[in-house]
Structure 1
Amino acid sequence: MTETPACPVPDDLPAPPPARRVARAQVRDGVVSDGVRAVPEETPVALTYNGTTHAVMMASPTDIADFALGFSLTEGIVAAAAEIESLDVIVAGDGIEARMWIAPEKVARLAARRRALAGPTGCGLCGVESLAEAVKPAARVTAARRFPAADILGAMAALAPAQVLNHETRAVHGAAYFEPGAGLVALAEDVGRHNALDKLVGKASRLGLNPAEGLLLLTSRVSIEMVQKACVLGTGVIAAVSAPTSLAIRTAEAAGITLCAVVRADGFEIFTHPERIARAGQPERATHVA
C-alpha cells in the first residue's frame, strides 16, 4: 500500500485543527463570567473505494490515513494493509476524503453489500443491512500471554496523561495499545469511540505491531462492535474504564477475549476468560446476563 503522508490539497486548504477555542459564559456559585473553552472539531470524513463513497463518518480530523486503513480492516473490506493499492487523504471545503483504490474483485464484493451512510458521532453499526450482520460472530482470538493485575492498572494510569486532545477538550475518546516493558506503544483519539479504535487498528497495522503481546485500552463503554473490532486487532485483553453491555460480554466470551472493565485506580472487574490475568486466588467467573 502506498500512503500520501501529507494531505494533497488542490485548493490549498489546510486540514481542520483537532480543537478550536470558543467563547462561552461560565456560571459558578451563582457568578457569571465570560471566557473561552477548547472544544473538539468534528469533521465529515468520506471513505471512498475506487471512486465510490462507501461511508461518511463524523470524526476528529486527525490520523485520517490510519482511520481509513483501520476502518477497511475492521469492516472486512480488506484483510491486510497491502490490499489497499493506494490511499490519499484530500482536504476539501466541506470535509476530508480518504481516497482508496483496491482490487476490482474486492470492489465487486463491496458493491454487493455496499452501505453509503452518514454516520453520527459514535455510531458503530449504521447502515448494517440485517440483524445477522449486526451480531455476526467475531474472529476467535488466540493470544496466550498472561498479565499481572498490576499491568492493567498501570496501563490505564498511563493512558489519561497521554491523551493530549482530551486533556485540552475533555470531550474525546481514546484507544491505546499497551505492551509491558514498552508502555503505550500506540494511541488514537477521536470524538467517536469507534473511530478511535479504528484509528488504533490502522496504526497497529501500519507499525507492524503484534497486539497479541499487549493490552487494548478503551476510555469508553464496551459494546459489541468494540469487541468485534478488538478481534480484528488481535489482542487477547480489553481493559475499559466503563462497563460492558451483556451482548459485548457474550461476544468476548465466544471470541476468547479477556474483558476487563470498570478499571479504577484500586482495581477492576473481569467478565470473561480470567485465565489471562495472573493473580492470587482464582474467583469464579462472572455470571453472564442472558
Structure 2
Amino acid sequence: MTVPTTSYPFRRIAASGDISHVERELAEEVPIALEFNGIGYAVLMATPHDIEDLVAGFLLAERLQFAGDTVINVSLHRAEAGLVARATLPADRAGALLDRIRHRASDSSCGLCGIENLEQAMRPLPPVAAKCEAGNDAVFNALAELSRFQLLNARTGAVHAAALVDARGSIRIVREDVGRHNAFDKLIGAMRRTGAAWDGGFALLSSRCSFELVEKAALADCPMLVTISAPTRLAVERAAKAGLELRVLARPDALLASEY
C-alpha cells in the first residue's frame, strides 16, 4: 500500500552559503478522534493509515480489551479537521470505559493521559507468558533488514516503525507512524486482526525504550522488545517485573541485553 504524502518546497542552505531549491515529501499527521460506545474518548495525532490496526492496539494498551478478546469492528468517517474512528465495546467493558472516560483527556496514545493517580499509573503488568526463541543473530538480521520495510520513512524521514520479527530474524509485519506509540499500537492491532502470534519472535522498534512501550509490549504478551535507542530506568524496572526481555541500543555492531 502506498501512503499519500505531501510535497513541499524548501530552500536548501549549505554550510558554504550556497542556496538551492528542493521539494521534500512530508508525512501526513492528522487528528483522529476515537469514539467508543458513542462517547468521545481521545484524540490522537497520527499518520492516517492502518487506523483499524491503531484502534485494535490502542484498546489493548488502554486495558479496555484484553489479548484474548474478540477484535471489534471499527468504522471510519472523514471530518473537516481529520478522521473519526467509531467502535462499540461489549457490555462487560462498558463500566471500565465509563470509569476511564471520567478521568481522561488525551493527545497521545501513551496510555497514561487522564490516569487519576499514581497508583493507577503504576498498575501491575501481567506477567509475560510467551517465550522468545530468537538469538542475538536474529536481532542483528532484523536490524539489517528493517530499513527495506520502512517505505514511508524512506520517503519522508519522519516516521517510526514497529515490526513483528520471527525467531529466525525475518520481518513479518511492519507498521509506521509519526508517533512511536501509534506505530506499536498499529503493529499489535494488525497482529490481533490477522491472528498473527509472536511464535517465539519479538518486536523491533525504531525508537527509544520508554515506559509506555514496555507497557504495550507486556499487555500484548510480547516476549522480547528490541529498540534502537536507550531505555529509561523505569522501563527496565517494569520490564523486569513483567518478565519482558529487552534488547536496547540495538545497532548493526552491538546491542545491550537485559540480565534479569
For normalisation by structure 1, the TM-score amounts to: 0.83
- 8 Å CA contact 1:176–1:217 kept in 2: the answer is yes
Matched, 1:238 2:205: no
State the match for 1:24 in structure 2. Answer: 10
Partners of 1:272 and 1:55 in 2: CA distance:
37
Report the 3-state secondary structure (helix = DSSP H, G, I; strand = E; otherwise coil) of the residue aligned with 1:147.
coil
State the Cα distance separating 1:144 from its structure 2 match.
2.4
- 8 Å CA contact 1:212–1:235 kept in 2: the answer is no
Larger mean CA deviation between 88-97 and 168-177 belongs to 88-97
Partners of 1:146 and 1:83 in 2: CA distance:
27
Partners of 2:104 and 2:40 in 1: CA distance:
7
Larger mean CA deviation between 126-135 and 156-165 belongs to 126-135
Report the 3-state secondary structure (helix = DSSP H, G, I; strand = E; otherwise coil) of the residue aligned with 2:70.
helix
Identity over aligned pairs, percent: 35
Partners of 1:228 and 1:264 in 2: CA distance:
23
Partners of 1:272 and 1:53 in 2: CA distance:
43
The alpha-carbon distance between structure 1 residues 152 and 81, as it changes in their structure 2 partners (threshold 3 A), is same
State the Cα distance separating 1:116 from its structure 2 match.
4.4
RMSD: 1.8
| Per-residue CA distance 1:202-258 (angstroms, 9 max, x = gap) | 001111112142110010011111001001222211111000000000011001011
Report the 3-state secondary structure (helix = DSSP H, G, I; strand = E; otherwise coil) of the residue aligned with 2:258.
strand
State the Cα distance separating 1:190 from its structure 2 match.
0.5
- Listed as ranges, the matches of 1:243-282 within 5 Å are 243-273=230-260
Matched, 1:221 2:213: no
The alpha-carbon distance between structure 1 residues 124 and 171, as it changes in their structure 2 partners (threshold 3 A), is farther
Aligned letter for 1:267?
A
State the match for 2:44 in structure 1. Answer: 57
| Per-residue CA distance 1:172-224 (angstroms, 9 max, x = gap) | 11111000358211111101100000001100111111214211001001111
Runs of 4+ displaced beyond 6 Å: none
Partners of 1:51 and 1:18 in 2: CA distance:
30
Partners of 2:90 and 2:231 in 1: CA distance:
37
State the match for 1:117 in structure 2. Answer: 105
- Listed as ranges, the matches of 1:1-290 within 5 Å are 18-28=4-14, 29-79=16-66, 80-82=68-70, 84=72, 86-114=73-101, 115-120=103-108, 123-181=110-168, 183-273=170-260
Partners of 1:192 and 1:154 in 2: CA distance:
25
The alpha-carbon distance between structure 1 residues 136 and 24, as it changes in their structure 2 partners (threshold 3 A), is same
- 8 Å CA contact 1:253–1:272 kept in 2: the answer is no
| Per-residue CA distance 1:249-286 (angstroms, 9 max, x = gap) | 0011001011111111111011244xxxxxxxxxxxxx
- Number of paired residues? 255
| Per-residue CA distance 1:33-69 (angstroms, 9 max, x = gap) | 1111111111101111111111100000010000011
For normalisation by structure 2, the TM-score amounts to: 0.92
Aligned letter for 1:19?
T
Whose strand fraction is larger, Structure 1's or Structure 2's?
1
Report the 3-state secondary structure (helix = DSSP H, G, I; strand = E; otherwise coil) of the residue aligned with 1:128.
coil
Gapped regions of structure 2 (runs ≥ 5):
none
State the Cα distance separating 1:135 from its structure 2 match.
2.2
Aligned letter for 1:26?
R
Gapped regions of structure 1 (runs ≥ 5):
1-16, 274-290
The alpha-carbon distance between structure 1 residues 272 and 97, as it changes in their structure 2 partners (threshold 3 A), is farther
State the Cα distance separating 1:157 from its structure 2 match.
1.4
Partners of 1:116 and 1:249 in 2: CA distance:
26
- 8 Å CA contact 2:165–2:171 kept in 1: the answer is yes
